A and B are shown apart, each in its own frame.
Chain A
Amino acid sequence: METRLMQFARALRAAGVPVSMAETVDAAGALTALGVKDREPFRISLRSTLIKRTIHLPVFDELFPIFFDGKAELPPDMDNALENLSDEEAEQLALALQQLKDNIADSLRRLLRGDPLTRQDLNQLAAMTGLDRARNMRWSEWMVRRMQAALQHDSVRRAMVEIAQLLEQVGFSKERLDELRAMLQANIEAETGQLQNFAGQRITDNMQARPPSEDVEDLLHAPFGRLGEDEMNVLRQEVRRLSAALRSRISLRQKRQKTGTLDLKSTIRRNLGHGGVPFTLSYKRRQKKPRLVVVCDVSTSMRYCTELMLGLIHAMQDQISRTYAFAFNDHLEYITPDLAHGSAQEAVDRVLVRMPPGHYSTDLGGSLAEFDREWLDLVNHRTTLLMVGDGRNNFRDPETGIFQEMARRCTRTIWLNPEPPMLWGTGDSDMNEYLPFCDHVLQVQTMAELTAAVDELLTR
Chain B
Amino acid sequence: MPDAFSSPNQIRDALHGQGYVCSPEIATITYLSDQLDKPLLIEGPAGVGKTELAKVVAAATGRELIRLQCYEGLDETKALYEWEYAKQLLYTQLLRDKLQEVLASAGSLAESADRIAAEENVFFSMRFLLQRPLLKALLSPEPVVLLIDEIDRADAEFEAFLLEILSDFQISVPELGTLTARVQPLVFLTSNNTRELSEALKRRCLYLFLNYPELEQEIAVVNLKVPELDGALTRQAVEMVQGLRNLDLRKHPSISETLDWARTLVILNAERLDSGLVSDTLNVLLKHERDLKRVQQRLEPMPGDGPEYQGPEDEEDHTRYL
Residues on A facing B (Cβ under 8 Å): 18, 20, 22-23, 26, 29-30, 33-34, 40-41, 44-45, 47-49, 51-54, 57, 240, 244, 247-248, 251-252, 255, 269, 272-273, 275, 318-319
Shortest B24–chain A CB gap in Å is 6
Is B127 close to A, CB under 8 A? no
Q: Are A34 and B31 in contact (CB under 8 A)?
A: yes
B residues less than 8 Å from A52 (CB atoms): 41, 199, 202-203, 205, 207
Given contacts A33-B35, A48-B29, A52-B203, contact A272 B86 (CB under 8 A): yes
Q: Within the complex, which residue of A22, A48, A248 is in contact with B156, where a contact is CB–CB below 8 Å?
A: A248
Q: Are B193 and A45 in contact (CB under 8 A)?
A: no
CB-based nearest A residue for B87: A272
Q: Are A30 and B157 in contact (CB under 8 A)?
A: no
Interface size on B, residues (CB 8 A): 34
Q: Considering the chains assembled together, what is the distance between the CA atoms of A47 and B25 in angstroms? A: 10
A residues less than 8 Å from B43 (CB atoms): 54
Given contacts A44-B28, A48-B208, A54-B193, contact A247 B156 (CB under 8 A): yes
A residues less than 8 Å from B156 (CB atoms): 247-248, 251
Q: Are A44 and B25 in contact (CB under 8 A)?
A: yes
Interface string of B205-236 (1 = CB under 8 A from A): 11111000000000000000000000000000
B residues less than 8 Å from A20 (CB atoms): 199, 203
A residues less than 8 Å from B198 (CB atoms): 244
Shortest A44–chain B CB gap in Å is 4
Q: Are B29 and A273 in contact (CB under 8 A)?
A: no
Q: Are B36 and A30 in contact (CB under 8 A)?
A: yes
A residues less than 8 Å from B88 (CB atoms): 272-273
Q: Considering the chains assembled together, what is the distance between the CA atoms of A54 and B48 in angstroms? A: 15
Q: Are A272 and B85 in contact (CB under 8 A)?
A: yes
Residues on B facing A (Cβ under 8 Å): 8, 24-25, 28-29, 31-32, 35-36, 38, 41, 43, 83, 85-86, 88-89, 155-157, 160, 193, 195-196, 198-199, 202-209
Q: Considering the chains assembled together, what is the distance between the CA atoms of A29 and B238 in angstroms? A: 39
Given contacts A30-B36, A48-B208, A54-B209, contact A318 B195 (CB under 8 A): yes
CB-based nearest A residue for B195: A318
Q: Considering the chains assembled together, what is the distance between the CA atoms of A247 and B207 in angstroms? A: 23
Given contacts A41-B8, A275-B89, contact A33 B36 (CB under 8 A): yes
Q: Are A273 and B38 in contact (CB under 8 A)?
A: no
B residues less than 8 Å from A255 (CB atoms): 155, 157
A residues less than 8 Å from B83 (CB atoms): 273
CB-based nearest B residue for A341: B193
4 closest A-B pairs by beta carbon, nearest first, are A272-B85, A52-B202, A33-B35, A248-B156
The binding surface of chain A is classed by DSSP as: helix
Q: Are A51 and B28 in contact (CB under 8 A)?
A: no
Q: Within the complex, which residue of B29, B35, B193, B195 is in contact with A247, where a contact is CB–CB below 8 Å?
A: B195
Q: Are B202 and A30 in contact (CB under 8 A)?
A: no
Q: Are B196 and A318 in contact (CB under 8 A)?
A: yes
Q: Are A34 and B203 in contact (CB under 8 A)?
A: no
Q: Considering the chains assembled together, what is the distance between the CA atoms of A22 and B167 in angstroms? A: 11
CB-based nearest B residue for A19: B203
Q: Can you list 29 pairs linking A and B with CB atoms under 8 Å apart? A: A20-B199, A26-B206, A29-B36, A33-B32, A34-B35, A40-B28, A41-B8, A44-B28, A44-B32, A45-B29, A48-B28, A48-B29, A48-B32, A48-B206, A48-B208, A52-B202, A53-B196, A53-B202, A57-B209, A244-B196, A244-B198, A248-B157, A248-B160, A252-B157, A255-B157, A272-B86, A273-B83, A273-B89, A275-B89
Q: Considering the chains assembled together, what is the distance between the CA atoms of A255 and B43 in angstroms? A: 27
Q: Considering the chains assembled together, what is the distance between the CA atoms of A333 and B203 in angstroms? A: 39
A residues less than 8 Å from B203 (CB atoms): 20, 22-23, 52
Q: Considering the chains assembled together, what is the distance between the CA atoms of A53 and B202 in angstroms? A: 9
Shortest A138–chain B CB gap in Å is 23
A residues less than 8 Å from B195 (CB atoms): 247, 318-319
Given contacts A52-B207, A54-B43, A252-B157, contact A45 B28 (CB under 8 A): yes
Q: Considering the chains assembled together, what is the distance between the CA atoms of A143 and B36 in angstroms? A: 41
Q: Considering the chains assembled together, what is the distance between the CA atoms of A273 and B156 in angstroms? A: 30
Q: Considering the chains assembled together, what is the distance between the CA atoms of A40 and B24 in angstroms? A: 9
